Amino acid sequence: MNNKEILQKAKELVELLEQQEETGKVELSTLKRGDVFQTTGKRKYKVLQQYGDTTKIISLDLVKENVEFGDTSDYKTSKVKKLCDTEILKDFEEEFGAGNIKTHTADIITADGQKVGNVKCKIRPITFDEAREYTDITPNNDLNDWYWTLSPWSTEEHGWSRSLSVVAPSGYVGYINCDYGLGVRPVCILKSNIFVSKVEE
């Protein structure tokens, strides 16, 4: 057997191994809103929305618990943002691959509808508007605690400089001061051509 034949056999073996690895897996783009999936088995995720070549997802469970938001309701300077940008991002990159997590811009809009800015990010909490939009699919009564949104309840001018919108396991939305410790349930946008395993919730 010459080198060319050996190389061809090696290619065929690699293709066979890749096919075996992907057996039982589906492309993320084929999942519907509300479907649950996993990749490594470390944790489960839920599809929020499909955008063609990307997919918005949320973790099924809390990734971190008992996290103080920060000193004010400003997400950009918060402890939650720092956690999402570092430890949680690294964790997600190990699971999905750094190149498969898309940078995107999220509007920061208060619960009473005032746009106070936006933030570029890869990983972040859900927004107040998303919590309302996806309230039919995000409740998870197995969660141990409420979780943060990145949306202030209102503005300092309205007397609300320290309160954030928060979500209960049932999907109910309320508010709480920024110095409480709650859960972090991250949202991100992935390339939709990755292979995942569809699972039961």
Helix (H) or strand (E) holding 12: helix 3-22
Question: CA 40, 184, 29, 54 torsion: positive or negative?
Answer: negative
Asked whether residue 176 is assigned to any structural domain, the reply reads yes
Asked whether residue 40 is assigned to any structural domain, the reply reads no
Q: What is the pLDDT of residue 78?
A: 98
Overall domain count for the chain: 1
Q: What is the pLDDT of residue 21?
A: 57
Q: What is the pLDDT of residue 18?
A: 64
How many Cα atoms occupy the beta-carbon half-sphere of 165 within 13 Å? 24
What would the two tokens of residue 133 be? 């939009």
CB count in 10 Å sphere of residue 5: 9
d(CA 24, CA 16) in angstroms, rounded, equals 14
Q: Which residues contact 47 (CB under 8 A, 6 or more apart)?
A: 28, 31, 32, 33, 34, 35, 36, 37, 55, 56, 57
Domain of residue 127: give its range. 60-95+107-186
CA 190 to each of CA 6, 51, 114, 135, 148: distance values in angstroms, whole numbers, following the listed order:
37, 10, 28, 21, 21
Asked whether residue 85 is assigned to any structural domain, the reply reads yes
| Global confidence as pTM | 0.87
Asked whether residue 2 is assigned to any structural domain, the reply reads no
Asked whether residue 132 is assigned to any structural domain, the reply reads yes
Asked whether residue 143 is assigned to any structural domain, the reply reads yes
Which residue numbers in the chain have pLDDT < 70? 1, 13-23
